[in-house]
Protein backbone atom coordinates (compact mmCIF):
# COMPACT_ATOMS: atom_id res chain seq x y z
CA UNK A 1 0.00 0.00 0.00
CA UNK A 2 1.29 3.44 -0.87
CA UNK A 3 -0.62 5.47 1.69
CA UNK A 4 1.87 5.24 4.55
CA UNK A 5 0.76 5.57 8.15
CA UNK A 6 -2.41 7.60 8.56
CA UNK A 7 -2.03 10.91 10.30
CA UNK A 8 -3.35 12.19 12.65
CA UNK A 9 -3.84 9.04 14.69
CA UNK A 10 -7.20 7.30 14.48
CA UNK A 11 -9.03 6.67 17.77
CA UNK A 12 -9.86 3.08 18.63
CA UNK A 13 -13.52 2.07 18.48
CA UNK A 14 -15.13 1.11 21.80
CA UNK A 15 -16.21 -2.54 22.08
CA UNK A 16 -18.14 -4.69 24.52
CA UNK A 17 -16.75 -7.84 26.17
CA UNK A 18 -14.50 -8.23 29.17
CA UNK A 19 -11.56 -5.80 29.39
CA UNK A 20 -8.97 -7.47 31.65
CA UNK A 21 -7.16 -4.19 32.35
CA UNK A 22 -10.35 -2.45 33.49
CA UNK A 23 -11.32 -5.41 35.66
CA UNK A 24 -7.87 -5.55 37.28
CA UNK A 25 -8.15 -1.82 38.14
CA UNK A 26 -11.37 -2.67 40.01
CA UNK A 27 -9.78 -5.63 41.78
CA UNK A 28 -11.80 -8.08 39.65
CA UNK A 29 -10.91 -10.85 37.22
CA UNK A 30 -12.82 -12.24 34.21
CA UNK A 31 -14.05 -15.12 36.38
CA UNK A 32 -15.74 -12.66 38.75
CA UNK A 33 -18.06 -11.22 36.12
CA UNK A 34 -20.86 -12.53 33.93
CA UNK A 35 -20.65 -10.92 30.53
CA UNK A 36 -23.93 -9.62 29.12
CA UNK A 37 -22.05 -7.09 26.96
CA UNK A 38 -20.89 -9.27 24.05
CA UNK A 39 -23.43 -10.95 21.80
CA UNK A 40 -21.62 -14.28 21.60
CA UNK A 41 -23.80 -17.40 21.83
CA UNK A 42 -23.53 -18.41 25.53
CA UNK A 43 -24.43 -22.04 24.70
CA UNK A 44 -21.09 -22.38 22.94
CA UNK A 45 -20.12 -23.83 19.57
CA UNK A 46 -21.24 -27.11 18.08
CA UNK A 47 -19.69 -30.11 19.89
CA UNK A 48 -18.20 -31.11 16.53
CA UNK A 49 -15.95 -28.03 16.73
CA UNK A 50 -13.97 -29.55 19.61
CA UNK A 51 -13.47 -32.76 17.61
CA UNK A 52 -12.28 -30.74 14.59
CA UNK A 53 -9.79 -28.80 16.74
CA UNK A 54 -8.25 -32.02 18.05
CA UNK A 55 -7.34 -32.98 14.48
CA UNK A 56 -5.43 -29.78 13.62
CA UNK A 57 -1.71 -30.22 12.96
CA UNK A 58 0.00 -27.41 14.83
CA UNK A 59 3.40 -27.51 13.11
CA UNK A 60 1.94 -27.07 9.64
CA UNK A 61 1.03 -23.73 8.05
CA UNK A 62 -2.67 -23.04 7.54
CA UNK A 63 -4.13 -23.41 4.06
CA UNK A 64 -3.62 -19.91 2.65
CA UNK A 65 -6.62 -20.31 0.38
CA UNK A 66 -8.92 -21.57 3.16
CA UNK A 67 -10.16 -23.96 0.51
CA UNK A 68 -12.38 -26.29 2.53
CA UNK A 69 -14.00 -23.40 4.38
CA UNK A 70 -14.45 -21.31 1.24
CA UNK A 71 -16.18 -24.27 -0.42
CA UNK A 72 -18.38 -24.80 2.64
CA UNK A 73 -19.47 -21.15 2.67
CA UNK A 74 -20.07 -21.13 -1.09
CA UNK A 75 -22.14 -24.31 -0.88
CA UNK A 76 -24.17 -23.04 2.06
CA UNK A 77 -25.07 -19.78 0.34
CA UNK A 78 -25.37 -21.13 -3.20
CA UNK A 79 -22.61 -18.90 -4.64
CA UNK A 80 -19.37 -19.61 -6.52
CA UNK A 81 -16.09 -19.85 -4.60
CA UNK A 82 -14.88 -16.73 -6.48
CA UNK A 83 -17.55 -14.80 -4.60
CA UNK A 84 -16.24 -15.79 -1.16
CA UNK A 85 -13.36 -14.46 0.93
CA UNK A 86 -12.65 -15.93 4.36
CA UNK A 87 -11.05 -13.58 6.88
CA UNK A 88 -9.76 -13.15 10.41
CA UNK A 89 -13.20 -12.23 11.74
CA UNK A 90 -15.65 -9.81 10.17
CA UNK A 91 -13.31 -7.10 11.46
CA UNK A 92 -10.52 -7.93 9.03
CA UNK A 93 -12.99 -8.13 6.14
CA UNK A 94 -14.51 -4.73 6.98
CA UNK A 95 -11.05 -3.17 6.95
CA UNK A 96 -10.16 -4.94 3.70
CA UNK A 97 -13.42 -3.73 2.18
CA UNK A 98 -12.71 -0.12 3.14
CA UNK A 99 -9.11 -0.29 1.89
CA UNK A 100 -10.21 -1.86 -1.39
CA UNK A 101 -13.31 0.15 -2.17
CA UNK A 102 -12.46 3.62 -0.87
CA UNK A 103 -9.94 6.10 -2.24
CA UNK A 104 -8.54 8.92 -0.07
CA UNK A 105 -11.14 11.67 0.23
CA UNK A 106 -14.08 9.46 -0.79
CA UNK A 107 -17.31 10.06 1.07
CA UNK A 108 -18.74 6.99 2.81
CA UNK A 109 -22.10 6.93 4.58
CA UNK A 110 -22.42 5.04 7.83
CA UNK A 111 -26.03 4.33 8.85
CA UNK A 112 -26.01 5.07 12.58
CA UNK A 113 -26.23 4.68 15.45
CA UNK A 114 -24.09 1.62 14.78
CA UNK A 115 -20.93 -0.40 15.24
CA UNK A 116 -17.85 1.82 15.62
CA UNK A 117 -15.44 -0.01 13.32
CA UNK A 118 -16.99 1.30 10.08
CA UNK A 119 -15.90 4.85 10.81
CA UNK A 120 -12.49 3.62 11.85
CA UNK A 121 -12.10 1.50 8.71
CA UNK A 122 -13.03 4.51 6.55
CA UNK A 123 -10.46 6.66 8.34
CA UNK A 124 -7.77 4.01 7.89
CA UNK A 125 -8.57 4.21 4.17
CA UNK A 126 -8.29 8.03 4.43
CA UNK A 127 -11.89 8.36 3.30
CA UNK A 128 -14.48 10.68 4.83
CA UNK A 129 -17.03 8.77 6.93
CA UNK A 130 -20.34 10.59 7.39
CA UNK A 131 -22.87 9.24 9.83
CA UNK A 132 -26.47 9.32 8.65
CA UNK A 133 -28.08 8.98 12.02
CA UNK A 134 -31.57 7.65 12.63
CA UNK A 135 -33.42 9.25 15.51
CA UNK A 136 -34.88 7.62 18.57
CA UNK A 137 -38.25 9.22 17.81
CA UNK A 138 -38.18 7.28 14.53
CA UNK A 139 -37.34 4.10 16.47
CA UNK A 140 -33.90 4.23 14.83
CA UNK A 141 -35.26 3.52 11.36
CA UNK A 142 -32.70 4.82 8.82
CA UNK A 143 -33.75 7.31 6.20
CA UNK A 144 -32.97 5.13 3.17
CA UNK A 145 -34.33 7.63 0.65
CA UNK A 146 -31.62 10.14 1.51
CA UNK A 147 -28.94 7.44 1.06
CA UNK A 148 -29.92 7.06 -2.59
CA UNK A 149 -29.69 10.84 -3.05
CA UNK A 150 -26.25 11.14 -1.47
CA UNK A 151 -23.06 11.49 -3.53
CA UNK A 152 -21.27 8.95 -1.26
CA UNK A 153 -19.44 6.17 -3.10
CA UNK A 154 -19.96 3.63 -0.34
CA UNK A 155 -22.51 2.84 2.36
CA UNK A 156 -21.81 0.90 5.56
CA UNK A 157 -24.82 -0.73 7.12
CA UNK A 158 -25.26 -3.30 9.88
CA UNK A 159 -28.29 -5.56 9.41
CA UNK A 160 -29.69 -6.44 11.89
CA UNK A 161 -28.11 -3.46 13.54
CA UNK A 162 -25.82 -3.30 16.52
CA UNK A 163 -26.78 -1.94 19.05
CA UNK A 164 -30.49 -1.50 18.22
CA UNK A 165 -31.16 -5.06 17.03
CA UNK A 166 -33.39 -3.64 14.30
CA UNK A 167 -33.60 -5.30 10.90
CA UNK A 168 -34.16 -3.42 7.66
CA UNK A 169 -36.14 -5.81 5.45
CA UNK A 170 -34.15 -7.13 2.52
CA UNK A 171 -36.60 -5.86 -0.07
CA UNK A 172 -36.27 -2.26 1.15
CA UNK A 173 -32.48 -2.49 0.92
CA UNK A 174 -32.61 -4.17 -2.45
CA UNK A 175 -34.84 -1.42 -3.77
CA UNK A 176 -32.60 1.45 -2.60
CA UNK A 177 -29.25 -0.15 -3.43
CA UNK A 178 -30.41 -1.00 -6.96
CA UNK A 179 -31.17 2.69 -7.59
CA UNK A 180 -27.48 3.53 -7.19
CA UNK A 181 -25.30 0.88 -8.86
CA UNK A 182 -22.31 3.27 -8.53
CA UNK A 183 -22.57 3.10 -4.72
CA UNK A 184 -21.02 0.05 -3.04
CA UNK A 185 -23.02 -1.21 -0.07
CA UNK A 186 -21.05 -2.97 2.65
CA UNK A 187 -23.72 -4.88 4.54
CA UNK A 188 -22.48 -6.28 7.84
CA UNK A 189 -24.60 -9.34 8.63
CA UNK A 190 -22.61 -10.38 11.71
CA UNK A 191 -25.91 -10.96 13.57
CA UNK A 192 -28.05 -12.49 10.78
CA UNK A 193 -27.87 -15.94 12.37
CA UNK A 194 -29.73 -14.54 15.38
CA UNK A 195 -32.85 -13.69 13.40
CA UNK A 196 -35.99 -15.83 13.53
CA UNK A 197 -35.54 -16.25 9.78
CA UNK A 198 -32.76 -14.97 7.54
CA UNK A 199 -33.18 -11.75 5.60
CA UNK A 200 -29.79 -11.78 3.90
CA UNK A 201 -28.61 -9.67 1.00
CA UNK A 202 -26.36 -12.55 -0.15
CA UNK A 203 -28.91 -14.23 -2.33
CA UNK A 204 -29.48 -11.08 -4.36
CA UNK A 205 -26.11 -11.38 -6.10
CA UNK A 206 -26.28 -7.66 -6.83
CA UNK A 207 -23.16 -6.12 -8.42
CA UNK A 208 -22.78 -3.40 -5.76
CA UNK A 209 -23.36 -5.37 -2.55
CA UNK A 210 -20.71 -6.88 -0.34
CA UNK A 211 -22.00 -8.91 2.59
CA UNK A 212 -19.81 -9.57 5.62
CA UNK A 213 -20.61 -12.40 8.05
CA UNK A 214 -19.03 -13.46 11.34
CA UNK A 215 -18.66 -16.84 13.01
CA UNK A 216 -17.92 -15.08 16.29
CA UNK A 217 -21.49 -14.48 17.35
CA UNK A 218 -24.14 -17.19 16.90
CA UNK A 219 -21.52 -19.84 16.04
CA UNK A 220 -19.65 -18.85 19.22
CA UNK A 221 -16.11 -18.93 17.79
CA UNK A 222 -15.10 -15.55 19.24
CA UNK A 223 -11.67 -16.73 20.40
CA UNK A 224 -10.69 -18.10 17.00
CA UNK A 225 -11.41 -15.05 14.81
CA UNK A 226 -13.15 -16.11 11.63
CA UNK A 227 -15.70 -14.62 9.26
CA UNK A 228 -16.38 -14.34 5.54
CA UNK A 229 -17.39 -11.89 2.86
CA UNK A 230 -19.58 -12.62 -0.14
CA UNK A 231 -19.73 -10.26 -3.08
CA UNK A 232 -18.92 -9.68 -6.74
CA UNK A 233 -15.88 -11.72 -7.81
CA UNK A 234 -13.90 -8.62 -8.90
CA UNK A 235 -14.26 -6.97 -5.52
CA UNK A 236 -13.61 -10.21 -3.64
CA UNK A 237 -10.45 -10.78 -5.72
CA UNK A 238 -9.20 -7.23 -5.01
CA UNK A 239 -9.82 -7.68 -1.27
CA UNK A 240 -7.92 -10.96 -1.38
CA UNK A 241 -4.90 -9.11 -2.83
CA UNK A 242 -4.85 -6.79 0.21
CA UNK A 243 -5.14 -9.60 2.75
CA UNK A 244 -2.07 -10.63 4.78
CA UNK A 245 -0.99 -14.25 4.16
CA UNK A 246 -2.24 -16.96 6.55
CA UNK A 247 -4.53 -14.52 8.32
CA UNK A 248 -6.98 -17.31 9.13
CA UNK A 249 -5.28 -19.96 11.23
CA UNK A 250 -5.82 -23.72 10.90
CA UNK A 251 -7.91 -24.01 14.05
CA UNK A 252 -10.24 -21.24 12.92
CA UNK A 253 -10.64 -22.88 9.50
CA UNK A 254 -11.34 -26.36 10.88
CA UNK A 255 -13.70 -25.06 13.57
CA UNK A 256 -15.62 -22.92 11.09
CA UNK A 257 -16.22 -25.85 8.71
CA UNK A 258 -17.50 -27.95 11.63
CA UNK A 259 -19.67 -25.12 12.98
CA UNK A 260 -21.24 -24.31 9.63
CA UNK A 261 -21.99 -28.00 9.07
CA UNK A 262 -24.00 -28.27 12.29
CA UNK A 263 -27.06 -26.21 11.43
CA UNK A 264 -29.14 -28.15 13.98
CA UNK A 265 -26.97 -26.91 16.86
CA UNK A 266 -27.11 -23.35 15.54
CA UNK A 267 -30.91 -23.37 15.22
CA UNK A 268 -31.53 -25.03 18.60
CA UNK A 269 -29.24 -22.68 20.55
CA UNK A 270 -30.41 -19.55 18.73
CA UNK A 271 -34.05 -20.49 19.42
CA UNK A 272 -33.25 -20.86 23.13
CA UNK A 273 -31.41 -17.56 23.14
CA UNK A 274 -34.25 -15.76 21.37
CA UNK A 275 -36.66 -17.14 23.99
CA UNK A 276 -34.38 -15.92 26.78
CA UNK A 277 -34.06 -12.48 25.15
CA UNK A 278 -37.85 -12.26 24.91
CA UNK A 279 -38.32 -13.38 28.52
CA UNK A 280 -35.77 -10.84 29.78
CA UNK A 281 -37.12 -7.88 27.83
CA UNK A 282 -40.73 -8.74 28.81
CA UNK A 283 -39.77 -8.99 32.49
CA UNK A 284 -37.87 -5.70 32.37
CA UNK A 285 -40.70 -3.95 30.52
CA UNK A 286 -43.20 -5.22 33.12
CA UNK A 287 -40.88 -3.81 35.80
CA UNK A 288 -41.10 -0.39 34.14
CA UNK A 289 -37.83 -0.30 32.18
CA UNK A 290 -38.12 1.27 28.69
CA UNK A 291 -37.00 -1.31 26.12
CA UNK A 292 -36.39 -0.85 22.40
CA UNK A 293 -38.27 -3.54 20.44
CA UNK A 294 -35.74 -5.69 18.61
CA UNK A 295 -35.37 -8.41 15.98
CA UNK A 296 -32.43 -10.02 17.78
CA UNK A 297 -31.90 -11.67 21.18
CA UNK A 298 -29.91 -8.59 22.34
CA UNK A 299 -31.80 -5.41 23.15
CA UNK A 300 -31.42 -1.87 24.48
CA UNK A 301 -32.74 -0.71 27.86
CA UNK A 302 -32.98 2.97 28.83
CA UNK A 303 -31.49 3.42 32.29
CA UNK A 304 -30.62 7.13 32.60
CA UNK A 305 -26.86 7.48 33.13
CA UNK A 306 -25.59 4.40 31.23
CA UNK A 307 -21.97 4.82 32.29
CA UNK A 308 -22.82 5.05 35.99
CA UNK A 309 -25.34 2.23 35.69
CA UNK A 310 -22.81 -0.07 34.04
CA UNK A 311 -20.33 0.70 36.83
CA UNK A 312 -22.92 -0.17 39.46
CA UNK A 313 -23.78 -3.47 37.80
CA UNK A 314 -20.09 -4.30 37.41
CA UNK A 315 -19.78 -3.96 41.18
CA UNK A 316 -22.33 -6.80 41.35
CA UNK A 317 -20.30 -8.94 38.92
CA UNK A 318 -22.52 -8.12 35.92
CA UNK A 319 -21.05 -6.60 32.77
CA UNK A 320 -23.33 -4.80 30.33
CA UNK A 321 -22.60 -2.67 27.27
CA UNK A 322 -22.80 1.06 27.98
CA UNK A 323 -24.18 2.45 24.70
CA UNK A 324 -22.60 5.91 25.19
CA UNK A 325 -20.01 5.23 22.47
CA UNK A 326 -22.92 4.70 20.04
CA UNK A 327 -24.14 8.20 20.96
CA UNK A 328 -26.80 6.70 23.26
CA UNK A 329 -25.67 7.76 26.74
CA UNK A 330 -28.88 6.74 28.47
CA UNK A 331 -29.04 3.19 27.08
CA UNK A 332 -27.35 -0.10 27.90
CA UNK A 333 -27.30 -3.13 25.58
CA UNK A 334 -28.04 -6.53 27.04
CA UNK A 335 -27.07 -9.81 25.40
CA UNK A 336 -28.94 -12.72 27.00
CA UNK A 337 -27.10 -15.68 28.49
CA UNK A 338 -28.15 -18.98 30.07
CA UNK A 339 -31.44 -18.89 32.04
CA UNK A 340 -29.91 -18.89 35.56
CA UNK A 341 -27.46 -16.14 34.66
CA UNK A 342 -30.34 -14.13 33.21
CA UNK A 343 -32.29 -14.58 36.44
CA UNK A 344 -29.35 -13.08 38.35
CA UNK A 345 -29.29 -10.15 35.94
CA UNK A 346 -33.04 -9.57 36.32
CA UNK A 347 -32.71 -9.65 40.12
CA UNK A 348 -29.89 -7.06 39.95
CA UNK A 349 -32.04 -4.83 37.74
CA UNK A 350 -34.87 -5.15 40.23
CA UNK A 351 -32.53 -3.93 42.99
CA UNK A 352 -31.53 -0.90 40.93
CA UNK A 353 -35.05 0.18 40.02
C1 LIG B 1 -21.77 -5.38 13.94
C2 LIG B 1 -20.49 -6.09 14.15
N3 LIG B 1 -19.76 -6.45 13.09
C4 LIG B 1 -18.59 -7.09 13.24
C5 LIG B 1 -18.10 -7.38 14.49
C6 LIG B 1 -16.79 -8.07 14.61
O7 LIG B 1 -16.94 -9.41 14.31
P8 LIG B 1 -15.71 -10.40 14.36
O9 LIG B 1 -15.58 -10.86 15.77
O10 LIG B 1 -16.10 -11.48 13.41
O11 LIG B 1 -14.50 -9.64 13.91
C12 LIG B 1 -18.83 -7.03 15.63
C13 LIG B 1 -18.31 -7.32 16.96
O14 LIG B 1 -18.80 -6.89 17.96
C15 LIG B 1 -20.05 -6.36 15.45
O16 LIG B 1 -20.80 -6.00 16.49
Q: Which tens digits make up the pLDDT trace of 93-144?
A: 999 999 999 999 999 999 999 999 999 999 999 999 999 999 999 889 999 9
Shortest-distance atom of ligand 1 to CA 16: 14
SS3 302: strand
| β-pairing verdict for 154-158 and 184-188 | parallel
Q: What is the pLDDT of residues 45-80, one digit of tens each?
A: 999 999 999 999 999 999 999 999 999 999 999 999
Domain locations in the chain as residue ranges:
20-44+264-352, 48-261
Shortest-distance atom of ligand 1 to CA 88: 11
Q: Which residues pair with 128 in a beta bridge?
A: 107
**pLDDT of res. 6:** 54
| Residue 31: band (very low, low, confident or very high) from pLDDT cuts 50, 70, 90 | confident
**pLDDT of res. 41:** 98
- Write the DSSP string, 100-168: HH--TT-EEEEEES--THHHHHHHHTT-EEEEEEPPGGGTT---HHHHHHS--SEEEEESS-TTT-PPP
Q: What is the pLDDT of residues 172-227, one digit of tens each?
A: 999 999 999 999 999 999 999 999 998 999 976 789 999 999 999 999 999 999 99
Ligand 1 residue neighbourhood (C-beta within 6 Å): 15, 89-91, 115, 158, 162, 188, 190, 214, 216, 227
Peptide bond preceding 196 in cis form (omega within 30 of 0): no
For residue 14, report the distance from its CA to the centre of ligand 1, in Å. 12
Q: What does the radius of gyration of the chain's CA atoms come to, in whole angstroms?
A: 20
How far apart are the C-alpha atoms of 39 and 300, rounded to whole Å? 12
Peptide bond preceding 66 in cis form (omega within 30 of 0): no
| Residue 15: band (very low, low, confident or very high) from pLDDT cuts 50, 70, 90 | confident
pLDDT score of 1 more than 50? no
pLDDT score of 2 more than 50? no
Contact between 287 and 353 under an 8 Å Cβ cutoff? The reply is yes
Q: Among 143, 221, 234, 140, which Cα is nearest to 184's?
A: 234
Q: Among 252, 221, 254, which Cα is nearest to 52's?
A: 254
Q: What is the pLDDT of residues 243-297, one digit of tens each?
A: 999 999 999 999 999 999 999 999 999 999 999 999 999 999 999 999 999 999 9
How far apart are the C-alpha atoms of 189 and 199, rounded to whole Å? 9
Q: Which residues pair with 318 in a beta bridge?
A: 34
For the segment 149-176, the average pLDDT, to the nearest whole number, is: 95
For residue 194, report the distance from its CA to the centre of ligand 1, in Å. 13
Can you give the three-state secondary structure of 13-49, one letter per residue?
CCCCCCCHHHHHHCCCCHHHCEECCCCCCCCCCCHHH
Q: Which CATH number fits domain 48-261: 3.40.640.10, 3.30.465.10, 3.20.80.10, 3.40.190.10?
A: 3.40.640.10
Phi/psi region, residue 118 (left: phi>0; alpha: psi -120 to 50; beta: rest), is alpha
Q: Which CATH number fits domain 20-44+264-352: 2.30.40.10, 3.40.50.300, 1.10.600.10, 3.90.1150.10?
A: 3.90.1150.10
Helix (H) or strand (E) holding 99: helix 89-101
For the segment 84-92, the average pLDDT, to the nearest whole number, is: 98
For residue 158, report the distance from its CA to the centre of ligand 1, in Å. 10
How far apart are the C-alpha atoms of 192 and 215, rounded to whole Å? 11
Amino acid sequence: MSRGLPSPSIPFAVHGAVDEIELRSLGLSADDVTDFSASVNPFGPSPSVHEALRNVTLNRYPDRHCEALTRKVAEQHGVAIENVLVGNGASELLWLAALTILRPGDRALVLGPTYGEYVRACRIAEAEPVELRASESDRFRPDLASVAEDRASAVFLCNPNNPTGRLIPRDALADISSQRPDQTWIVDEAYQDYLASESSMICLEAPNILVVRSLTKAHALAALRVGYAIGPSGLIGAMREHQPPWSVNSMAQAAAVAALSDTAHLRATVDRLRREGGRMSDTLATGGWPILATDTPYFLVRVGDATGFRRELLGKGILVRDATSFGLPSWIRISPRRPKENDRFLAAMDDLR
